[in-house]
A = this chain, B = another copy of it.
Amino acid sequence: MLETLKQEVLQANLDLVKHHLVLFTWGNVSAYDEETKLVVIKPSGVSYEQMSASDMVVVDLDGHIIEGELKPSSDTPTHLALYKAFKGIKAVVHTHAKYSTIFAQSKKAIPAFGTTHADYFASDIPVTRTMTRNEINGEYELETGHVIIERFKELALDPLSCPSVLVSEHGPFSWGDSCANAVHNAAVLEYVAHMAFETSLLRDDQFSMNQDLLKKHFSRKHGKNAYYGQKQ
């Protein structure tokens, strides 16, 4: 079942390696099929060199395995929580990419410092709060999803206008309207994080950029008045 989607999820996982976002078996990509309400996700701890489309695991939104020989990624409950809460997202990516993770480890949001950021993210990229002992020792991966959703609610952020988050002391999650788009966002996040890190060492202040310029660049590429790229 969902053979085409499995192939896309496999390719997206391999693209994490190509974009230098993962080491060894780290990282994972999943995709959501709206029609069947099922999720296809990478198996846990399998090396990228040996992974094939048939290794992808199919689960329902409650985490029951519907198809697949292997255990799904241990981060599956986080992915599922995001699909349930964030309407319109079709794929989720988790990596430990270096500069995204450095901000997460520093418990700091990534400030919007320039138009490269604004071309993809309509705001600073938020960081979650520290998790409680009960959350950590309870259903940890599910609670990880909950602190992400809580943060977006607090900031009244639209997940489609800010397709990434940093989990405090952990690392980034990104998403999009397709597997390819979610990986694209994860790669841009890492590029933007690296530049924001260095910029924060060089700048005299740490304020976000001119908000008019931020809106201008986001709306050049997104929404009904976008004029970047070719007509579809």
Contacts and interface: CB of A to CB of B under 8 A. Distances in A.
B106 A202 contact: yes
B169 A209 contact: yes
A7 to B, nearest CB: 20
Interface residues of A, number: 61
Contact of A74 (B170, B191, B210, B228): B228
B230 A45 contact: yes
B101 A131 contact: no
Copies in the complex: 4
B115 A228 contact: no
B230 A70 contact: yes
A96 B142 CA distance: 37
B114 A199 contact: no
A212 to B, nearest CB: 5
Contact of A184 (B24, B105, B198, B231): B24
Nearest to A140: B216
A99 interface: yes
A46 interface: yes
A223 interface: no
A224 to B, nearest CB: 16
A10 B113 CA distance: 31
A115 B71 contact: no
Contacts of A199: 102, 105-106
Contacts of A46: 229-230
A156 interface: no
A179 to B, nearest CB: 15
A136 to B, nearest CB: 5
A227 interface: yes
A23 interface: yes
A210 B44 contact: no
A229 B45 contact: yes
A208 to B, nearest CB: 10
A190 to B, nearest CB: 10
Q: Which 4 A-B pairs have the closest CB atoms?
A: A45-B229, A105-B114, A106-B202, A105-B113
19 contacts: A24-B188, A44-B230, A45-B230, A71-B229, A74-B228, A96-B116, A101-B116, A102-B199, A103-B202, A104-B114, A105-B196, A108-B202, A108-B203, A115-B170, A131-B213, A136-B213, A137-B216, A169-B213, A197-B202
